[in-house]
Amino acid sequence: MTIIDDAPGAQLPWGDPGFRLDPYPLYARVREEHPVYQDDDGAWVVSRYDDVMHFGKLPIMSIVEPADGAIGPWTAMANTVLSHDPPAHTGLRRHSNKWFTPKLVKEWVKYTAQAVNEALDSIGEDGVIDAHVDLGTIPTHNTMCRVMGLPDDDPIPAVEAIADAVNALSAVPTPEDIDRGVRGFEYMLERAQRMVDEKRKNPGEGMADALLAAVDRGELSERAALETITVFWASGGSNPAYLITTGMEEFARHPEVFHAYKSDPSVRSAIINEIVRLHPPELSFPRFPTEDVEIRGHRIPAGSQIRFMIGAANRDPEAFEHPEVFDYRRPPGASMNLSFGIGPHSCAGQVISRAEAEVIFTAIAERYDHVELVGEATHLYTDRARFFVSRPIKLS
């Protein structure tokens, strides 16, 4: 593991393999000793919970990079909520928000339950199953496809492509990272375009159909509709799958938590919230202040990049007592984590992600008493994001 030196301005080793595998010890040191510092590339790193929560959602914190707009391959998403601030962001988001109301989500997760039970039915006598692919990715991807009104076939390449795209957002992307990100978006957009072309011939009643109807009414550009369809279709199984997989790991490591989940429905949402706190799929988010801002005595000029460190903030001992401990009994007011983002750019899919997790964990708890880790997990970790490739487990 790379060690941070003791001088002011000591930095997180973004590209170090040991740091990427387990960044939390160095997060703790930076959070304590250098809660705000300027990186070599000029970006400011902010790691305390209170600072991320307060400054990260200020109206002056723009998602748009002043000089170049979206970063690298993410110029492919220049017409989505991922590349706009309010009020344009608000108008774009209106087209998707109505598809994820609590009432509708209850209907959508019926498909999640069906898919996870089919996966559980297929388990052999050894009880081994891939938590990431079979319990996380396929049920949640299938659910999003139902929402969108799109075919749910062949989800793994889509999840791999969105992982490549997100990994290109590293603080120190290599040329290979950028190239893979470009290829990932090319794959996603090409596949989404084929689905849109089919929709035009055979319309249905899903969210994709509604977006195309908005195009026909002149409310949305054809490109914005395509990009929005791409984002939801490709990411609908990736972040929820990480939540499911890390949850299964926690149940295996803490059998008492799985027992509590199984026996007491009243604690299920709190258990899921603690999984979310400890295991955010995205460890940071960048913002660009539109005017000068001061954080802990550091004057940060307008237009600078600020990296708000979700992964560090979620384990800040000033916000969470014994932050490294899995404790679902935390009072609601002391368990507000940042894993789904904050402010206008908070994750549009967080309601359905939490609901999918509860449906999947409940289906498993109703049929099994024990979760065991078997074999080795395969990851795709960077300083910015965390994905699984596989995570074999045994259910009994």
340 pLDDT more than 60: yes
Give pLDDT tens digits for 139-158: 999 999 999 999 999 899 99
Q: Does a structural domain hold residue 39?
A: yes
| pLDDT band of 300, cuts 50, 70, 90 | very high
66 pLDDT more than 70: yes
Percent of the chain beyond pLDDT 70?
Answer: 95
d(C-alpha 376, C-alpha 281), whole Å? 19
Question: CATH number of the domain that 387 lies in?
Answer: 1.10.630.10
Q: Does a structural domain hold residue 41?
A: yes
Structural domain of 199: 17-395
Structure tokens at 222: 């054809």
pLDDT at 2: 43
| pLDDT band of 8, cuts 50, 70, 90 | very low
Q: Does a structural domain hold residue 4?
A: no
190 pLDDT more than 50: yes
Higher pLDDT: 348 or 13? It is: 13
Q: Does a structural domain hold residue 383?
A: yes
Q: Does a structural domain hold residue 103?
A: yes
Higher pLDDT: 135 or 346? It is: 135
- Most confident range (mean pLDDT) of 68-82, 202-216, 332-346 is 202-216
pLDDT at 71: 56
Q: Does a structural domain hold residue 7?
A: no
pTM of the model: 0.93
Structure tokens at 197: 């072309």
Q: Does a structural domain hold residue 228?
A: yes
Give pLDDT tens digits for 34-64: 999 999 999 999 999 999 999 999 999 999 8
Question: How many domains does one find in the chain?
Answer: 1
Q: Does a structural domain hold residue 311?
A: yes
